[in-house]
Structures are given as structure tokens and as C-alpha cells.
């Protein structure tokens, strides 16, 4: 960990706790800053804030008082989930107070180079693949960021010969200034989080913060099949490496005649890759480019790609039973994600879908129902999904109350060679606390079948 003086004797407000805020507050305190923590949750219900108080850190809980801006803070470190429309944040912007997220702190103190991964889809799978391959190749790789491990905490464990593989959301990247990964991976760009960013342009601008400080000594790996993205990154000074499933680029990662290549070097047969779907092939190409730039042996790549069956809750292979293959895609909380999941398969598929009703329809799924033989639906959106399935001409449509009931019902309507896919196309909050809980219940139900 680097010793920096940027925050020494400076007044810093840490706004919002959760894991990232706790780590940021403790780190800043250790770097010599005068830290104040402000969290909406009352102190009596806030053990994290109580622990920080015991460290000698000033804590204000229960609300975000606008009067805090009168205390002369020189920096604010903001939880990524707090919107910039928050009155306290908006007031700080008007006062010209720099607002960071904790990934900026992570970069400033990291001894190790960083591989940063962002994009609308595929971030977690690509990040996990890069980490798995580096680790298999006996490199000291640490995984961090939006994937659930707090970056500013992980980098404190890193050494100069380590590498930190960091998943980065647009929320996190809005709050960086000096942040500069040695290798940046941008998987793709679609409309997302417009309720937070307002427009796609602002969303893309936030993502682009990952690459704005890169130099000609750094690398930028980007989706070569997205012209909009290629144009967006054109001002970058980094060495650009493109990946594509559609065209050959001798300087990048690509597929030709059923083989996966990087910069003209054959890596492996695509047919030997376990992870299904064209979208995952893009993630794989991006990951291969990143690890090859990191000096990984092809043997290590092949070892991972012939065994890696997916990140949990993201088109995750669960088991095969009597010729049926079960996949858990509980992370599919919107129709775009479910379309991607359905596109990953050509076999007859029984789709399990439903959840929180956000007011949207599901007719955009109809073109992807050509190989769906049955729909098992549950949750608030069941009536809408049933109508969609009828318009699509599905013959088998079943309504059940729970995911637990959906699994044996799907199995009843399946036969050998079928795919049974949980891809809800809806958020989980009508019946579950999280999509992870929904996916775990699906997995348990699958393993109860015999």
C-alpha cells in the first residue's frame, strides 16, 4: 500500500456507509484525514457506524443534514448508490467540493497494477474469468470492486507483483479523477440506469471516466462489434485492442473457423468452451485479451474455459438430470437480460419467469420464443407473461405460486435434451429480498428432483 499525503490533515466527509463507506472511512482515518461519517440509518440500528465511532471517527446518523456543508469539507467520498440529485451532494457540487467514490481511494494507494472492467452487460463474468485464469496461471490476482469485494480494502493486501482485477459500475466511475487501470476492458454499451444518469450520453460519459487518464503505456480492450462504442473511445491515448465474434482482427481477439485466436495465435477450439451463449463468447474474448496482455500461458486459459460453467445466478449451469440441463439466470431482472439468456440456447427450452411488476410489458420477448416449448410463470407479472406467451403461440403455459413449485412443474413438461431455464425478466422484490435468494431457492429445488 502506498503512503499518500493527499488527505492528511484534510476534512473529509464520507457520505453513506455500507461496506465501501466503512472501508473508506477507516482508510482515510489511517491516512491522517479528519473524517466525518454521515449515514441515513439511525446510530442505534447502525453497528458499522458504532464501530467507526469507537475508532475515534465523528459519526452523524439518521439523516443527511444540509448544514454539514458549512463545516468546510475539502473532499467528499460518496457511496455509489447515493444519487447526485441528493440535496447534500448537489450542494457540494455547487460549492466545488470534489466528490469521489472509494475506488478512487483504492487506485491512489494501490501498489499493484489494476485491470478495470466495465460495460452494460458481462462485467461480472468477464471479471471472474480474468481472475480465474490469472490465478490458474499462478499469478497473485485479487478480485475487487462492484463484484462485492471493496476495492479500497482489497488493494491494501496487494503487493507490487500482484494484479487487482476490478469490476467497475457507472455509479462508481462517476466519482473518479486520477483513476487509471493499466488494462481497461469495456465489454459493451446499451441503455441502462437512465433513472440515475438521465440520458445514455451521461451514462456513457460516466463509463468513459475509466479510460480518461490512460496513457500510451496502457491498454484498452473494447468490443469491436459496436460502432458506437468504437467511436466513443476514439480519443483514448491507450493502445486499443478489439475483440469480435464477427470479424477477424490480427491485433485483437477473434473467432475464425471455430477457433479462438489472440493476435494471430490459436488458443483453443470454441466447441471446447463450456460456458454457453454468443454473449458469453464476447466476454471470453475480452477476458482472453486481458490475460494474454498479462503474460498468461494458453494452457491456463484452456484449463479454465473447459471447466468454467458461469458466475452464480448468471446463466449458471446447475445440473443435468435425465437428459435435462438446468440453468439459473436469476440475475435476469429485465427483458434484455432474458433475451440474452434465451439466445444462448437453440435446444427446446422451458422458461421459468415472473416477478415484480414495474409496469412494463413483455412482448419484446416474443421473437426469442421460437424454441421455447413451455412457460412456467409466477409472481406479480404472471398475468402479463401469460398473455405474452399466448400471443407467441406457446401451447404449454402454467401459472404457479412460487419458484419451488415452478421447478417440478417445468420438469413434468420436459424431456431429454431440453433446457430448463430460470430467467425471470423481472426484479425479485415481490417475493424475495434479492435475486440471489431467488436463484438459491431455484438451485435447492433443482437438487431436490430425482
**DSSP class of residue 20?**
H
439 is in an annotated binding site: no
Is 339 in the same domain as 417? yes
Range of the domain at 136: 103-305
- Its sign, for the CA torsion 106, 109, 110, 115, is positive
pTM of the model: 0.87
CATH of the domain at 364: 3.90.190.20
Residue 208 falls inside a structural domain: yes
Grid cell locating 120: 452494460
Residue 349 falls inside a structural domain: yes
* Cα–Cα separations (whole angstroms), residue 6 to 28, 55, 398: 10, 21, 60
What is the rounded average pLDDT for all residues in the chain?
Answer: 95
Detail the DSSP E strand segments found in 341-440.
Answer: 349-353, 372-377, 396-399, 419-422
Could you read off the pLDDT of 278-332 as tens digits, one per residue? Answer: 889 999 999 999 999 999 999 999 999 999 988 889 899 999 999 999 999 999 9
Instruction: Report which secondary-structure segment, H or E, holds 304.
Output: helix 298-305
Residue 1 falls inside a structural domain: no
Residue 6 falls inside a structural domain: no
Is 324 in the same domain as 273? no
Is 72 in the same domain as 123? no
Residue 194 confidence class, pLDDT cut points 50, 70, 90? confident
Is 74 in the same domain as 133? no
CA pair distance 290, 252, nearest whole angstrom: 10
Residue 198 confidence class, pLDDT cut points 50, 70, 90? confident
CATH of the domain at 80: 3.40.50.720
pLDDT higher than threshold 90 for residue 181:
yes
Is 74 in the same domain as 123? no
- Amino acid 358: pLDDT: 87
pLDDT higher than threshold 90 for residue 53:
yes
159 is in an annotated binding site: no
* Final residue belonging to a domain, choices 50, 68, 100: 100
Residue 78 falls inside a structural domain: yes
* Final residue belonging to a domain, choices 251, 282, 305: 305
What's the order of all strands across the beta sheet hosting 253-256? 141-145, 163-167, 114-118, 183-186, 219-223, 239-244, 253-256, 259-262, 265-269
Of 367, 322, 376, 331, the residue nearest 349 (C-alpha): 376
Burial of residue 43, with CB atoms counted within 10 A of its CB: 0-12 exposed, 13-18 middle, 19 or more buried: middle
Residue 2 falls inside a structural domain: no
Percent of the chain with pLDDT over 70: 100
- Amino acid 193: pLDDT: 73
Residue 402 falls inside a structural domain: yes
Could you read off the pLDDT of 372-400 as tens digits, one per residue? Answer: 999 999 999 999 999 999 999 999 999 99
Helix 298-305 with 278-293: angle, nearest 10 deg: 150
CA pair distance 356, 429, nearest whole angstrom: 6
Please list the helix, strand and coil fractions of the chain in percent, rounded to the nearest 5, in that order: 35, 20, 40
CA pair distance 295, 289, nearest whole angstrom: 10
Is 263 in the same domain as 142? yes
pLDDT higher than threshold 80 for residue 270:
yes
3 is in an annotated binding site: no
124 is in an annotated binding site: yes
425's CB contacts (< 8 A; 6+ apart) are 332, 333, 334, 335, 337, 338, 353, 354, 355, 362, 365, 381, 385
How many structural domains are present in the chain? 3
Is 356 in the same domain as 332? yes
Is 122 in the same domain as 138? yes
CA pair distance 85, 24, nearest whole angstrom: 22
CATH of the domain at 259: 3.40.1190.10
* Cα–Cα separations (whole angstroms), residue 334 to 67, 278, 285, 329, 425: 39, 19, 25, 11, 4
Count CB atoms within 10 A of the CB of residue 84. Answer: 16
Residue 377 falls inside a structural domain: yes
Q: Is 165 helix (H, G, I), strand (E, B) or coil?
A: strand
Could you read off the pLDDT of 79-108 as tens digits, one per residue? Answer: 998 999 999 999 999 999 999 999 999 999
125 is in an annotated binding site: yes
pLDDT higher than threshold 80 for residue 259:
yes
CA pair distance 26, 323, nearest whole angstrom: 52
Amino acid at each position: 500500500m502506498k503512503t499518500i499525503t493527499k488527505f492528511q490533515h484534510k476534512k473529509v466527509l464520507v457520505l453513506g456507509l455500507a461496506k465501501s463507506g466503512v472501508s473508506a472511512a477507516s482508510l482515510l482515518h489511517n491516512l491522517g484525514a479528519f473524517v466525518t461519517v454521515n449515514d441515513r440509518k439511525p446510530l442505534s440500528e447502525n453497528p458499522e457506524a458504532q464501530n467507526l465511532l469507537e475508532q475515534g471517527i465523528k459519526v452523524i446518523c439518521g439523516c443527511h443534514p444540509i448544514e454539514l456543508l458549512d463545516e468546510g469539507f475539502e473532499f467528499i467520498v460518496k457511496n455509489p448508490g447515493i444519487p447526485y440529485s441528493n440535496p447534500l451532494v448537489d450542494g457540494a457540487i455547487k460549492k466545488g467540493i470534489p466528490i469521489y467514490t472509494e475506488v478512487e481511494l483504492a487506485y491512489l494507494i494501490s501498489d499493484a497494477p489494476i485491470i478495470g472492467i466495465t460495460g452494460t452487460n458481462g462485467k461480472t463474468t468477464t471479471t471472474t474469468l480474468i481472475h480465474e485464469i490469472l490465478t490458474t496461471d499462478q499469478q497473485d490476482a485479487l478480485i475487487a470492486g462492484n463484484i462485492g469485494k471493496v476495492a479500497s480494502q482489497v488493494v491494501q493486501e496487494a503487493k507490487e507483483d500482484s494484479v487487482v482485477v476490478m469490476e467497475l459500475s457507472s455509479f462508481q466511475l462517476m466519482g473518479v479523477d486520477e483513476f487509471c487501470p493499466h488494462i481497461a476492458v469495456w465489454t459493451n454499451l446499451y441503455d441502462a440506469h437512465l433513472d440515475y444518469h438521465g440520458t445514455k450520453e451521461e451514462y456513457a460519459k460516466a463509463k468513459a471516466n475509466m479510460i480518461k487518464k490512460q496513457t500510451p503505456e496502457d491498454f484498452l480492450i473494447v468490443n469491436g462489434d459496436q460502432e458506437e462504442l468504437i467511436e466513443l473511445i476514439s480519443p483514448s491515448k491507450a493502445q486499443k485492442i478489439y475483440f469480435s465474434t464477427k470479424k477477424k482482427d490480427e491485433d485483437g481477439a477473434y473467432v475464425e473457423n471455430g477457433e479462438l485466436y489472440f493476435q494471430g495465435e490459436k488458443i483453443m477450439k470454441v466447441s471446447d468452451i463450456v460456458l454457453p451463449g454468443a454473449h458469453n463468447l464476447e466476454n471470453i474474448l475480452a477476458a482472453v485479451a486481458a490475460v494474454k496482455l498479462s503474460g498468461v500461458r494458453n494452457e491456463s486459459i484452456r484449463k479454465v474455459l473447459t471447466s468454467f460453467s458461469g458466475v452464480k445466478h448468471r446463466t449458471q449451469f446447475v445440473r443435468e438430470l435425465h437428459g435435462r440441463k438446468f440453468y439459473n439466470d436469476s440475475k435476469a431482472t429485465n427483458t434484455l437480460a432474458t433475451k440474452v439468456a434465451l439466445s444462448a440456447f437453440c435446444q427446446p427450452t422451458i422458461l421459468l419467469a415472473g416477478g415484480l411488476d414495474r409496469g412494463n410489458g413483455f412482448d419484446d420477448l416474443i421473437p426469442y420464443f421460437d424454441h421455447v416449448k413451455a412457460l412456467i410463470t409466477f409472481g406479480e407479472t404472471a398475468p402479463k407473461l401469460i398473455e405474452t406467451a399466448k400471443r407467441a403461440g406457446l401451447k404449454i403455459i402454467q401459472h404457479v405460486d412460487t419458484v419451488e413449485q415452478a421447478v417440478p412443474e417445468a420438469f413434468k413438461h420436459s424431456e431429454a435434451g431440453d433446457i430448463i431455464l430460470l430467467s425471470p425478466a423481472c426484479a425479485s422484490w415481490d417475493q424475495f429480498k434479492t435475486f440471489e435468494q431467488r436463484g438459491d431457492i431455484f438451485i435447492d429445488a433443482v437438487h431436490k428432483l430425482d
